[in-house]
């Protein structure tokens, strides 16, 4: 009886940092109105440049049904589930949230670092942004077959990104390159070189619109 109670989707909660409506600012869905669910908690090593440090610690425990209702009420067709690292909560409730959102006909897109294994049963679109820290990529190789698209925030380490793409056998059409910087002026300064890199390698270029226009403001 107790086990049945624990397995009920109705009783599951997610650890949530924030839910808000905005526009997807980067990557393959850039420019689309979207509802964002930012889940709490990430995986070490944490990135010193992280612009979502407020998602590292515990957030609010919110029932899955309530998260789904809030997202539906925001009214966008696209739902971006991000973090932190959202797949930490797959088995504890995110799987049920995905079910509910897909049944309502919404498009679900995930943002993951690839530091944890993307569950094989995920049906939404997986966008992976691998992290290079302390001289190496912190990335689970199996994710190269599980993620749909990859995006890299780059300052000048073009060779590092090229090496990763080659080693993982990623087609250029799965790769988005974005300029580093949590202020618009930093991004603009780097963009011409990143543009040229994308032209040369046939990668997709993406600005990061939210930081280009709003710097490091939260909830946009
Ligand atoms: S993986 Fe993402 S959320 Fe986690 S510390 Fe790095 S940039 Fe921040």
| Domain range for 53 | 2-153
Q: Residue 198 corresponds to which tokens in the numbers above?
A: 């994308």
Name the DSSP class of 49: T
- The answer as to whether 73 is a domain residue is yes
**132 CB within 6 A, ligand 1:** no
- The answer as to whether 44 is a domain residue is yes
pLDDT digits (tens, 9 = 90+) for 126-164: 999 999 999 999 999 999 999 999 999 999 999 999 999
Examine the pLDDT at 82 and tell me if it is beyond 70.
yes
**93 CB within 6 A, ligand 1:** no
Examine the pLDDT at 73 and tell me if it is beyond 90.
yes
- The whole-number average pLDDT for the span 38-46 is 97
Cβ neighbours for 201, distance < 8 A, ≥ 6 positions apart: 162, 172
How many structural domains comprise the chain?
Answer: 1
pLDDT digits (tens, 9 = 90+) for 183-220: 899 999 999 999 999 999 999 999 999 888 998 777 67
- The answer as to whether 142 is a domain residue is yes
- The answer as to whether 19 is a domain residue is yes
Contact between residue 176 and residue 206 where contact means Cβ atoms under 8 Å apart: yes
The span from the CA of 140 to the CA of 41, in Å, is: 18
- The answer as to whether 210 is a domain residue is no
Helix axis angle, 95-103 to 64-74, nearest 10°: 40
The span from the CA of 98 to the CA of 22, in Å, is: 20
Examine the pLDDT at 71 and tell me if it is beyond 60.
yes
**61 CB within 6 A, ligand 1:** no
- The answer as to whether 74 is a domain residue is yes
134 alpha carbon to ligand 1 midpoint, in Å? 14
Mark 34-69 as b/e (b = at least 16 C-beta within 10 Å).
bbbbbbbbbbeeebeeebbeebbeebeebbbbebbe
**113 CB within 6 A, ligand 1:** yes
Mutate to test the pocket of ligand 1, among 47, 116, 137 (most ligand atoms within 8 A of CB): 47
**91 CB within 6 A, ligand 1:** no
- Return the pLDDT at 4: 44
- The answer as to whether 106 is a domain residue is yes
- The answer as to whether 75 is a domain residue is yes
Mutate to test the pocket of ligand 1, among 17, 26, 52, 154 (most ligand atoms within 8 A of CB): 52
**218 CB within 6 A, ligand 1:** no
Reported as a pLDDT band with limits 50, 70 and 90, residue 40 is: very high
Residue 24 is part of a domain; what is its CATH number? 3.20.20.70
Reported as a pLDDT band with limits 50, 70 and 90, residue 7 is: low
């Amino acid at each position: 009886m107790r086990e049945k109670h624990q397995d009920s989707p109705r009783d599951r909660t997610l650890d949530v940092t924030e839910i808000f409506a905005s526009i997807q600012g980067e990557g393959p869905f850039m420019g689309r109105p979207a509802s964002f669910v930012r889940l709490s908690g990430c995986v070490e090593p944490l990135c010193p440049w992280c612009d979502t440090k407020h998602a590292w610690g515990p957030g609010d425990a919110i029932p899955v049904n309530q998260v789904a209702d809030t997202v539906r009420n925001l009214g966008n067709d696209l739902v971006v589930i991000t973090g932190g690292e959202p797949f930490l909560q797959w088995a504890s409730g995110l799987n049920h949230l995905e079910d509910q959102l897909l049944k309502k006909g919404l498009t679900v897109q995930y943002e993951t670092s690839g530091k944890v294994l993307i569950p094989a049963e995920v049906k939404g679109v997986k966008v992976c942004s691998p992290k290079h820290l302390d001289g190496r990529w912190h990335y689970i190789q199996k994710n190269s077959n599980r993620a749909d698209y990859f995006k890299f925030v780059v300052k000048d380490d073009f060779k590092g990104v090229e090496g990763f793409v080659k080693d993982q056998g990623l087609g250029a059409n799965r790769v988005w390159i974005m300029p580093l910087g949590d202020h618009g002026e930093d991004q603009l300064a780097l963009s011409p070189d990143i543009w040229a890199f994308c032209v040369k390698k046939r990668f997709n270029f993406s600005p990061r619109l939210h930081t280009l226009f709003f710097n490091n403001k939260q909830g946009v």
